[in-house]
Amino acid sequence: MTARRTAPTLEQVAALAGVSRATAGRVLAGSPSVGAQAREAVLAAAAELSYVTNRAARSLMTRRSGSIAFVVVESEERFFADPYFALVLRGAHTAVAERDVQLVFTILGSAPDRERFERFARGGHLDGVILVSLHGDDPLPRQLQADGIPVILAGRPFGEVAGLSYVSADNFGGARSAVRLLVDRGRRRIATITGPMDMTPSIDRLAGYEDELAAHGLAGHGTVEGDFSVQGGRRAMERLLVDAPDLDAVFVANDLMALGALQVLAESGRRVPDDVALVGFDASPLAPPPGRRSRRSGSRSSRWARRWPPACSTRSSTASRRPRSSCARRSPSTRPPDPDSRTSRARLARTNPATRGAGAGPGRPAPRVAGKVCASRAFRTRFRHAMRALS
């Protein structure tokens, strides 16, 4: 019977490298305080001995697990149907891998899933948590903070949480850009399909849509709430065609719903963009391929799809409620939101169906136009920076 091989120890690595155990430990922990010659000697010795750091032992000394959780608060069906989540997950994984940190992925699609994750987090297995796709004023960020676990949200929180940081695309500015594109091309009867109104991206995109219309002296020509899915886009478009059959453009709050809306328009005999212009949001890989490149925005545009990357921001949840078109990190501010702002009124819309009704507006024939707004590229870049800070 072959004897089991004994794993090499840190002492053996230090002896082979000709340094102290403490120096070898700092090198293998990634400390920048060790000279280049000693670092090279330790790494060479570790490779020669096939030494692998004992993470359990390191965790006892450093009180860090070396792991960060990426948590999506959606159903499994929703996660796997929307490529947005994979894009954000990829950015987070790239960022933590640069720091030799393990990314732990989980989906909280049910109450048992949430309870299991909360027990895991309280057990000291995580150095931080990335929360994605929260709905409403979810208590999970506060609970994790109360347990001493750093938290970063993907998206502006629904309610203010002291000390909570987040990364958000400029949903308000992106929506304004989309509507401005439609107005500039002659469209006047512009409706919108929103996302779930218990999510801040939906609230901010609706507010941007309303503000840009108001800036041109126009009223909304129909508002229907969707759920960020293809089927949700189909249902919303079917309702819009009943409530506002003379519409000539639709701003859709994400690309999956835009695909569903496109299907319904085709089935109804409406030509896109000849009869109805359509603008999506997110630059999803599932959207039709772009065409020529626009010099103005450094992005791509075509007859159907136009990518317009608004900026994003990394901020404290106590900052001003309306996103700015800047990617700069901003210091926290305790200034309360303006209750009369369009963003605040959009938030109230989720509990007041009357505020989501169709508005009447003048209309006339318009040139062909359709488009797409991209927030994900700038969002992913800023998200990676935030993950470096967390890790």
For 342-372, how does the pLDDT look when each residue is reduced to its tens digit (9 = 90+)?
433 333 333 333 333 333 333 333 323 344 4
> What is the Cα–Cα distance from 62 to 199, expressed in whole angstroms?
37
pLDDT surpasses 90 at 318: no
pLDDT surpasses 90 at 294: no
What average pLDDT does this structure show over 59-75?
76
pLDDT surpasses 90 at 115: yes
Q: Can you give the pLDDT at residue 367?
A: 29
Q: Can you give the pLDDT at residue 63?
A: 57
* C-beta contacts of 286-293 below 8 A and 24+ residues apart: 286/83, 286/255, 286/256, 286/259, 287/255, 287/258, 287/259, 287/372, 290/372
pLDDT surpasses 50 at 314: no
β-partners of residue 224 are 193
Q: Can you give the pLDDT at residue 381?
A: 56
Give the rounded percent of residues in the chain with a pLDDT score beyond 90.
Answer: 49
Give the strands of the sheet with 249-252, arranged side by side: 223-225, 190-194, 249-252, 277-281, 371-373
Q: Give the confidence band of 3 by pLDDT, cuts at 50, 70, 90.
A: low
pLDDT surpasses 80 at 111: yes
Tokens 């309303």 belong to 210
pLDDT in tens, 31-45: 788 899 999 999 999
Tokens 């229907």 belong to 224
pLDDT in tens, 228-276: 999 999 999 999 999 999 999 999 999 999 999 999 999 999 999 999 9
pLDDT surpasses 70 at 179: yes
pLDDT in tens, 131-147: 999 999 999 999 999 99
What average pLDDT does this structure show over 72-82?
93
Mean pLDDT of the chain: 76
* Spatial CB neighbours of 42, under 8 Å, sequence gap ≥ 6: 13, 14, 17, 19, 23, 24, 27, 28, 34
Of 68-82, 234-248, 301-315, the poorest mean pLDDT is in 301-315
> What is the Cα–Cα distance from 3 to 282, expressed in whole angstroms?
57
pLDDT in tens, 207-224: 999 999 999 999 999 999
**Amino acid letter at 142?**
R
Q: Can you give the pLDDT at residue 184?
A: 95
* Spatial CB neighbours of 127, under 8 Å, sequence gap ≥ 6: 64, 65, 66, 67, 68, 101, 149, 150, 390, 391
Q: Can you give the pLDDT at residue 278?
A: 93
Which pTM value belongs to this model?
0.66
Coarse DSSP helix, strand, coil percentages of the chain, rounded to the nearest 5 percent? 40, 15, 45
Domains and CATH numbers, the chain: 10-53 (no CATH), 67-169+381-390 (3.40.50.2300), 171-311+334-374 (3.40.50.2300)
Q: Can you give the pLDDT at residue 353?
A: 33
Q: Can you give the pLDDT at residue 330?
A: 31
pLDDT: which is higher, 1 or 147:
147
